[in-house]
């Protein structure tokens, strides 16, 4: 029985099993090949878009400029809204109230248009699934520990503490108050 099982796995059963699993898991080589082809097609499209075309007139240049305008216009528009909100809060509030009168369906259409312009890059990044590397995570955690270490109050020099406590003519410094709280267990954090 064991002999038949090993023969099945070594003698073609493993290939049959791989062939049965591949439609559900995908073939990595085929996936990388299709990604490579997709990237080549994009580069060819960009090359054709920016290449010097024969017989180009002012209208072609104008339309190409309009095609490149939406993404920067939307990005600068959002930044402009933030500047407007801080520079003229009353005017911004009035405009925001007017925007609330726009029907929800129109907001959905606007969202679809914006998703069309910006969604491709987001989907491509999500498809790649790249997250931070282990080294990046460790560096961030080390930095956080260093920041926390600087936040913790250090005990005050005992001689300086005694001098401040003995001098009744001047108010205590913040460091002396923290030290007094620490020594007396008053639970003063930071």
Per domain, the residue ranges of the chain are: 70-130, 136-184
> Residue 178's closest CA among 157, 155, 159?
155
pTM over the 0.75 mark? no
**What are the C-alpha distances in Å from 19 to residues 13, 14, 24, 87, 105?**
10, 8, 10, 64, 47
Q: Are 57 and 100 in contact (CB under 8 A)?
A: no
Distance CA 96, CA 99 (A): 5
Per-residue pLDDT tens listing for the chain (190 residues): 656 665 666 666 666 666 666 666 667 787 888 888 888 888 888 777 777 777 788 888 888 888 888 888 888 999 999 999 999 988 899 888 988 888 899 999 988 888 887 777 677 666 666 667 788 888 888 888 887 777 666 677 888 888 888 888 888 888 888 888 888 876 545 4
Q: Which residue has the tokens 């305008």?
A: 69
């Amino acid at each position: 029985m064991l002999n038949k099982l090993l023969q099945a796995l070594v003698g073609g059963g493993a290939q049959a099993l791989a062939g049965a699993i591949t439609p559900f898991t995908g073939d990595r080589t085929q996936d990388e090949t299709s990604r490579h082809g997709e990237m080549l097609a994009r580069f060819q499209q960009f090359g054709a878009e920016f290449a010097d075309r024969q017989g180009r007139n002012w209208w072609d240049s104008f339309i190409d400029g309009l095609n490149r305008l939406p993404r920067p216009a939307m990005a600068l528009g959002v930044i402009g809204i933030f500047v407007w909100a801080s520079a003229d809060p009353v005017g911004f509030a009035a405009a925001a109230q007017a925007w609330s009168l726009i029907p929800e369906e129109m907001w959905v259409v606007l969202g679809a248009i914006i998703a069309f312009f910006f969604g491709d890059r987001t989907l491509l990044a999500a498809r790649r699934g790249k997250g931070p590397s282990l080294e990046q995570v460790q560096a961030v955690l080390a930095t956080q520990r260093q920041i926390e270490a600087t936040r913790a109050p250090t005990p005050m020099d005992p001689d300086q503490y005694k001098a401040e406590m003995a001098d009744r003519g001047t108010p205590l410094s913040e460091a002396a108050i923290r030290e007094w709280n620490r020594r007396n267990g008053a639970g003063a954090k930071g």
